[in-house]
């Protein structure tokens, strides 16, 4: 048997091992619980941080990413779309591009479906650059999809898209200078409807 000294009564009293073991168990359980919460919180914070990093990397703009997404969207004349992005953003250096995430100089749409969040600096602004590309896809599906020939596409852009009378000439020059048809492996008109892509990306709005 074991005894412990009780300073209150100034006497030795028998140790109750059951009580001691219970106290030890409770203390041990509390410590384990606190450690578990700390580890779980650390893992959760790390996971959230990793998610933020992944999302930031996904949303970060690059010309290669834009080219890849334009190809996936099945635009009828993808090289023209990319040339517009170059021209409208002054090679991705303009204020509208950097602050509005607006790749194509789009204005806030009134009639058609749009992905823009509103107007800033007299142009539409977006959550990120991919939303701007999606909005151009909606524009294309609404107004450009019936056009079959490259000349029709250029004519429509010249008459309806920009106020600059040299807009189409500038686009043609960018396409030639940057050899965009080769970059997009373009070998003639393809009947790939962007409307089918939009059905997937925009939850069957059409």
d(Cα 109, Cα 123) in Å, to the nearest integer?
A: 10
Question: Between β-strands 3-6 and 11-14, what pairing exists: parallel, antiparallel or unpaired?
Answer: antiparallel
Kindly state whether residues 82 and 161 are assigned to the same domain: yes
Q: Which residue ranges in the chain fall short of pLDDT 70? A: 1-20, 23-26, 28, 30, 33-58, 187-206
The interaxial angle of helices 78-88 and 167-177, nearest 10 deg, is 110
Burial group, residue 75, by CB count within 10 angstroms (0-12, 13-18, 19+): buried
Q: Give the per-residue pLDDT at 150.
A: 95
Q: Give the per-residue pLDDT at 21.
A: 72
Kindly state whether residues 102 and 173 are assigned to the same domain: yes
User: How many separate domains does the chain show?
Assistant: 2
Kindly state whether residues 108 and 187 are assigned to the same domain: yes
Q: Give the per-residue pLDDT at 103.
A: 97
d(Cα 93, Cα 90) in Å, to the nearest integer?
A: 6
Residue 206 falls inside a structural domain: no
Q: Give the per-residue pLDDT at 203.
A: 44
Question: What is the span of the domain harbouring residue 23?
Answer: 3-59
User: Of the candidates 11, 36, 59, which is a domain's last residue?
Assistant: 59
Kindly state whether residues 191 and 107 are assigned to the same domain: yes
Q: Give the per-residue pLDDT at 186.
A: 74
Kindly state whether residues 193 and 160 are assigned to the same domain: yes
Kindly state whether residues 45 and 140 are assigned to the same domain: no
d(Cα 49, Cα 32) in Å, to the nearest integer?
A: 26
Kindly state whether residues 68 and 165 are assigned to the same domain: yes
Kindly state whether residues 50 and 69 are assigned to the same domain: no
CB 117 within 8 Å of CB 109: no
Kindly state whether residues 48 and 87 are assigned to the same domain: no
Kindly state whether residues 115 and 150 are assigned to the same domain: yes
Closest CA to 143 of 111, 118, 116, 104: 111
Kindly state whether residues 130 and 194 are assigned to the same domain: yes
Q: Give the per-residue pLDDT at 34.
A: 66
d(Cα 92, Cα 105) in Å, to the nearest integer?
A: 11
**175-196 residue pLDDT tens:** 999 999 999 987 664 444 454 4
Kindly state whether residues 83 and 183 are assigned to the same domain: yes
Residue 38 falls inside a structural domain: yes
Closest CA to 94 of 106, 111, 77: 106
């Amino acid at each position: 048997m074991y005894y412990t000294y009780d300073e209150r009564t100034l006497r030795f009293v028998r140790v109750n091992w059951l009580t001691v073991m219970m106290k030890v168990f409770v203390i041990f359980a509390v410590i384990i619980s606190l450690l578990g919460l700390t580890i779980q919180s650390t893992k959760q914070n790390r996971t959230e941080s990793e998610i933020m990093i992944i999302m930031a990397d996904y949303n970060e703009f690059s010309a290669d990413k834009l080219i890849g997404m334009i190809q996936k969207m099945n635009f009828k004349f993808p090289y023209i779309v990319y040339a517009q992005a170059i021209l409208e953003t002054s090679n991705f250096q303009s204020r509208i591009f950097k602050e509005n995430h607006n790749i194509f100089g789009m204005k806030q749409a009134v009639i058609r479906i749009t992905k823009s969040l509103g107007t800033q600096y007299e142009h539409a602004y977006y959550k990120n650059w991919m939303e701007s590309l999606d909005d151009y896809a909606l524009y294309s599906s609404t107004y450009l999809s019936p056009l079959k020939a490259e000349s029709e596409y250029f004519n429509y852009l010249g008459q309806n898209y920009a106020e600059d009378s040299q807009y189409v000439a500038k686009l043609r020059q960018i396409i030639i200078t940057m050899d965009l048809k080769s970059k997009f492996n373009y070998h003639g008109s393809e009947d790939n409807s962007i409307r089918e892509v939009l059905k997937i990306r925009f939850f069957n709005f059409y």
